[in-house]
């Protein structure tokens, strides 16, 4: 039976379902692609064209127009990736006969070096005064986990109590595409987690008079005994950084960057760091080698007697 061609809006919805369910892309990526594709759909509509009538010239003109509006190379690359993926999908589904993006290249994104917190500053802040309230116990344990395991904020807030193994010293988390990985956790973090779970988490959960099933297992709870939000974690980190004299405006991914960079600084191999971070491609992890080399160069220039002019 010949497939009935769906409406143009439905084509986008079908593609989004495909990349979400079958390819396992994150909700955030799918949301961005949806916005980008509908933007292109409206662009074509204004020119009395449809998605199925689009050609390479239309796509390139759209990308160029977005560039002239001042959009970043990162945004242009995402537009290109969304459109290219969409038409590749239509070709596989026999909805179109030729792929207008077949000879398109996705613009290269200039990689910015990730911001990291100096190792001494982090260690001093984490080794400061002992937490003495419910929320401070939670915060200290949470920050140790972020820095000690390199988790993404989405992975952190999704952790359940049953994802911890105190005996074996690891955390089980689910990363992008719902891929599960096992990450080791240090003794400092384990000690703080035990303290938090025993002395604080139970008290926080009591505050939630009607806890959902997920709340009962969620590891890090907010002051109302419910699952922490991404925004909540950002706010906690910002306040913690200011209290502990960290000059940088600290955020969750900065701790992830610091985790990877400090591992490489101390001799960890790139492949191991890739596994710990849950990167599908090692090229994503390689950016940290640039940060580590930069750090080594700074140490050399400060410490070696022949690194400066006029050295003895």
Catalytic: 87? no
Give the integer Cα–Cα distance in Å for 80 and 55.
14
Residue 253 known to be catalytic: yes
| Rounded-to-10 torsion of CA 67, 73, 76, 77 | 160
Find, among 177, 131, 156, the residue nearest to 28 by Cα: 177
Residue 54 CA, distance from chain mean position: 33
Residue found by looking up tokens 């001799």 in the block:
267
Catalytic residue among 152, 201, 226, 257: 152
Catalytic residue among 227, 256, 257, 262: 256
The active-site residue out of 18, 49, 253, 295 is: 253
Answer whether 45's CB lies under 8 Å from 8's CB: no
Residue whose structure tokens are 């009935």: 4
How far apart CA 35 and CA 29 sit, in angstroms, is 10
Residue 279 is a catalytic residue: yes
Separation of alpha carbons 71 and 87, rounded Å:
23
Q: Which of 176, 207, 238, 295 is catalytic?
A: 176
| Beta-strand pair 164-165/180-184 | unpaired
Catalytic (active site) residue 40: no
- Does 5 qualify as catalytic in the annotation? no
Catalytic site includes residue 152: yes
Return the closest-CA partner of residue 45 out of 58, 56, 35.
Answer: 58
- Cα–Cα distance between 33 and 53 in angstroms, integer? 20
Q: Transcribe 113-142 into DSSP letters.
A: PPP---HHHHHHHHTSSPP-SHHHHHHHHH
Helices 270-277 and 252-265 meet at what angle, rounded to 10? 160
Query: Given CA atoms 296, 301, 303, 307 in this order, what sign does their dihedral have?
Result: positive
192, 171, 195: which is closest to 126 by C-alpha? 192
Q: Annotated active-site positions, please?
A: 152, 176, 253, 256, 279, 288
């Amino acid at each position: 039976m010949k497939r009935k061609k769906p409406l143009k809006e439905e084509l986008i919805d079908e593609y989004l379902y495909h990349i979400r369910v079958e390819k396992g892309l994150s909700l955030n990526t799918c949301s961005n692609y949806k916005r980008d594709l509908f933007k292109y759909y409206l662009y074509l509509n204004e020119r009395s064209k449809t998605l199925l009538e689009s050609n390479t010239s239309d796509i390139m003109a759209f990308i160029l127009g977005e560039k002239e509006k001042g959009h970043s190379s990162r945004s242009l690359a995402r537009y290109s990736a969304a459109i290219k993926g969409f038409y590749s999908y239509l070709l596989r589904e026999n909805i179109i006969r030729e792929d207008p993006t077949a000879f398109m290249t996705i613009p290269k994104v200039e990689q910015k070096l990730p911001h990291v917190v100096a190792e001494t500053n982090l260690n001093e802040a984490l080794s400061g005064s002992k937490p003495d309230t419910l929320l401070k116990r939670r915060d200290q344990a949470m920050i140790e986990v972020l820095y000690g395991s390199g988790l993404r904020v989405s992975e952190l807030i999704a952790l359940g109590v049953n994802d911890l193994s105190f005996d074996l010293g690891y955390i089980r988390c689910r990363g992008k595409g719902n891929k599960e990985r096992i990450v080791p956790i240090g003794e400092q973090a384990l000690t703080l987690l035990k303290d938090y779970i025993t002395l604080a988490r139970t008290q926080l959960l009591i505050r939630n008079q009607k806890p959902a099933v997920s709340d009962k297992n969620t590891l890090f709870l907010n002051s109302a005994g419910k699952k922490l939000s991404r925004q909540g974690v950002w706010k906690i980190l910002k306040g913690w950084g200011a209290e502990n004299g960290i000059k940088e405006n600290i955020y969750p991914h900065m701790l992830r960057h610091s985790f990877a960079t400090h591992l490489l600084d101390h001799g960890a191999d790139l492949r191991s760091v890739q596994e710990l971070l849950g990167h599908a491609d090692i090229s994503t992890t390689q950016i940290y080698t640039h940060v580590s080399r930069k750090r080594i160069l700074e140490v050399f220039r400060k410490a070696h007697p022949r690194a400066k002019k006029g050295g003895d």
